[in-house]
Structure 1
């Protein structure tokens, strides 16, 4: 069993390498199970198991009679699957919220933001068509984009995706207070 698991993991890494090195883009057809089995010198069952795992995460799709194709990957596919396992206890949920707040505090530690970002944030605060969750997402997305640290932004977005079904707890004046913080240095 452990040997099979090792082969399965190696096949996953090889498929990832193949997609990257051969420049596959969403919509491209991947080699067949048989071709991958020969190319990676692995049993077809190991290749099939690796492909199923990747499909479950939403990275590829199998079309009956046509083959396996690379999808336009969105994090929410993986998050939907993982969240049902990861977020089962309240401690984990609380830790996730705490980690997200740490990232938000980091981006809020910036001394200033560009004027166009400030105007976008002000418009978001005034947009009554947005839910609390949408407003929070777009507001902090703007701040993270202005910050420029793509890794932190991706980590924050992943945490946001995990928390999609959790209640957002922020005061009504939360966003206005942040905007005022950034306006003061300019005045």
Structure 2
């Protein structure tokens, strides 16, 4: 592991510790990058990178020209654990894609799609302006919502957000039509 990654991870841990120990409440302003850099004895670039990663988790928000603020952050501990794992792993891309595919395959087992949801899926597949990534996201979002499991939905969304920045396998349209065909046969 490179020294830069170690520093970045240490800065994330230190910022999380500061948030807990200093009792930040939603809406409270965090110290500036410069102040955090001095306080944590870390380079500003490492602090900036750590803040971006923590912002991806939804813990903080950066407001242009105003600073960084602690958000109203309530979630499942499993999601926090997953997020920490994603931020720390160097070999995570492949594992993230495997885990995401497992979740997606799980929600495909839902057999309670309404006619309205089937219509939504067809509309998504017929929309030519959607990129392959957006089509995949919207398609599976219908299934996750039909599954009615908020934890799975939250974990999948987190994985989806992180994987958007990674190279992903693009599925041909036929992949989605085959899934839809199976569900139509199950319903009929």
Note the aligned Cα RMSD (angstroms): 3.7
The structure with the larger Rg is 1
Report the Cα distance in structure 2 between the residues aligned to 1:32 and 1:93, rounded to whole angstroms. 32
User: Where in structure 1 do 4 or more consecutive aligned residues deviate above 3 Å?
Assistant: 5-10, 28-33, 52-56, 60-64, 66-73
2:30–2:69: 8 Å Cα contact kept in structure 1?
A: no
Deviation for aligned residue 1:128: 0.7
SS at match of 1:139: helix
Cα deviations by residue, 1:96-116 (Å, 9 ceiling, x for unpaired): 211111001110111221221
TM-score (norm 2): 0.62
How do 1:8-19 residues align onto structure 2 when only pairs under 5 Å count?
Answer: 10-14=17-21, 18-19=24-25
TM-score (norm 1): 0.62
Deviation for aligned residue 1:172: 3.0
The 1:186–1:94 alpha-carbon spacing in structure 2 relative to 1, beyond 3 Å, is same
2:28–2:70: 8 Å Cα contact kept in structure 1?
A: yes
Deviation for aligned residue 1:171: 3.3
Counterpart residue number, 1:121: 121
> Structure 2: 5+ residue runs without aligned partners?
1-10, 33-37, 74-82
SS at match of 2:119: helix
The 1:163–1:32 alpha-carbon spacing in structure 2 relative to 1, beyond 3 Å, is closer
Counterpart residue number, 1:45: 39
> Structure 1: 5+ residue runs without aligned partners?
34-43, 74-78
When the two structures are aligned, how many residues end up with a matched partner?
A: 151
